[in-house]
Amino acid sequence: MSTSDGRSVRVALLGCGTVGSEVVRLLTEQADELGARAGAPVELAGIAVRRPDKHPELPQDLLTADAAALVESDVDVVVELVGGIEPVRSWLLTALRKGKSVVTANKALLSEYSAELSEAADAAGADLYFEAAVAGAIPLLRPLRESLAGDRITKVMGIVNGTTNFILSAMDSTGAGYAETLDEASRLGYAEADPTADVDGYDAASKAAILASLAFHSRVTAADVHREGISSVTASDIAAAKALGRTVKLLAICERVTADDGAESVSARVHPVMLERSHPLAGVGGAFNAVFVEADAAGELMFYGQGAGGAPTASAVLGDLVAVARNRVLGGRGPRESAHANLPVRPMGQTPTRYHVSLDVADRPGVLAQVAQVFADHGVSIAAVRQRDGLSTASLVIVTHLAPDAALDATVEAIGKMDVVREVVSVMRVEGEDT
């Protein structure tokens, strides 16, 4: 199994779809260079796909439909690009328990079973690498796990789903419809096999769980992440944002929150936000991703690049493959799971956020004061108000200061029940502005 005897590093590839096919292409085209960087030839020993007969373009002698048998065969590294939980979880546990290193892009699996997979890797002295699982081609997990291991990270915030960013960018710039843009994202290979994982925020929530776990040295799973997708973002929301010089983005936000008594917790959430157009994340279009990291000593860092698609994702997979192959050749190991801080997860209702609320209200004296009173009753402080008069109604835009999310939510519910409020046109959280 080890390559200290000078033989090649044998690789099993599970899955050869959008990402896997690009991994095969790059592995084939760059075989010599990859071998030189790894310190031994990197040899593709087998490719498991669901239907081998559908892949005339692949080397037929390498193809199999039996992924479990390929994992058990004489390979050193398993590269998993199938996706989903089972049977992938079982295959990867088998591989790790047998001391084979694993490279995967499977954020759905990692955000639920990282602890189990990491423990199996540790027990057998194998590597578990997953740079492609978050923000595609962008080197982000290695900087968090290694480059920033000596710093104290306080916040990780960014656009981590290419499909929803592609859709929101199109809605904002061309007014394109939701369904047609989603079809285009699927055709381009950005969307998950089930695109509801993208539009309902599950994919971004999985990535937020992985980011929060690494950034805060804790175990955060997808179930811990507050999740809202973009299916509820309306043309009214986009228009309300535009009218204020803002744009709508789906963000993953992971924060270290310190309570008054000094107790620390982690807040991890995915939801649409309004951002000022001057904010660096506002200009991130198409399937691109961008992530801000704030750390005590480093200050603010920004990572930007292609977050989805076959070739960009394959770049991250191959980087991991060279790293695990190098570890095999030289006899070392990559970073292990670091969960020593063990911080609890703060419920969304207690997380401080800011709201933007657009209302159509009756245009008569005293209405603004009545609405403002409801905010005050809930302990929510208003940062800015804008009013525009219509014929019989006025449009009122209110942006709050930071308040517990539950208090803001209750305020909006109470306002929606007021007689003077004709319509709650848009409610959205605001990020990236001074409180």
Ligand X SMILES: N[C@@H](CCO)C(=O)O
Ligand Y SMILES: NC(=O)c1ccc[n+]([C@@H]2O[C@H](COP(=O)([O-])OP(=O)(O)OC[C@H]3O[C@@H](n4cnc5c(N)ncnc54)[C@H](O)[C@@H]3O)[C@@H](O)[C@H]2O)c1
* Contact residues for Na ion, defined by CB under 5 A: 131, 135, 138, 140, 316
Dihedral of CA atoms 91, 93, 99, 105 in degrees, nearest 10, equals 70
21 is annotated as contributing to ligand binding: yes
Residue 397 interacts with ligand Y (CB under 6 A): yes or no: no
Residue 307 interacts with ligand X (CB under 6 A): yes or no: yes
Residue 44 near residue 58 (C-beta atoms within 8 A):
no
4 is annotated as contributing to ligand binding: no
Active-site pick, 54, 207, 249, 417: 207
Count of residues in the chain: 435
Applying the rule CB under 6 A, the residues between 190 and 219 that interact with ligand Y are 190, 192-193
One residue of 9, 11, 13, 15 binding ligand Y per CB under 6 A: 15
Applying the rule CB under 6 A, the residues between 160 and 199 that interact with ligand X are 161-163, 190-192, 198
What's the min distance (Å) between Cβ of 327 and ligand X? 25
Residue 284 interacts with ligand X (CB under 6 A): yes or no: no
Assess whether 155 carries a catalytic annotation: no
- Chain centroid to Cα 237, Å, comes to 23
**Based on CB atoms, which residue is closest to Na ion, 42 or 132?**
132
DSSP code per residue over 297-340: TTEEEEEEEE-SSHHHHHHHHHHHHHHHHHHHHHT---PPP--T
Q: Which of Na ion, ligand Y, ligand X, none does 255 bind, CB closer than 5 to 8 A by kind? A: none
Which position has the token pair 């804008």? 386
300 is annotated as contributing to ligand binding: no
Residue 117 interacts with ligand X (CB under 6 A): yes or no: no
What's the min distance (Å) between Cβ of 213 and Na ion? 15
17 is annotated as contributing to ligand binding: yes
Q: How do 299-306 and 288-295 pair as beta strands?
A: antiparallel
Name the one range near ligand X by CB under 6 A: 49-57, 157-165, 213-221, 343-351: 157-165
331 is annotated as contributing to ligand binding: no
Q: What is the distance between the alpha carbons of residues 236 and 425, in angstroms, rounded to a whole number? A: 7
Q: What is the distance between the alpha carbons of residues 178 and 2, in angstroms, rounded to a whole number? A: 51
Q: Which residues contact 361 (CB under 8 A, 6 or more apart)?
A: 367, 368, 371, 393, 394, 395, 396, 420, 421, 422
Residue 104 near residue 131 (C-beta atoms within 8 A):
no
One residue of 67, 215, 244, 324 binding ligand Y per CB under 6 A: 67
Q: Which residues are annotated as a binding site for NADPH?
A: 107
Name the binding residues for NADP(+). Answer: 14-21
Sequence ranges of the binding site for L-homoserine? 192
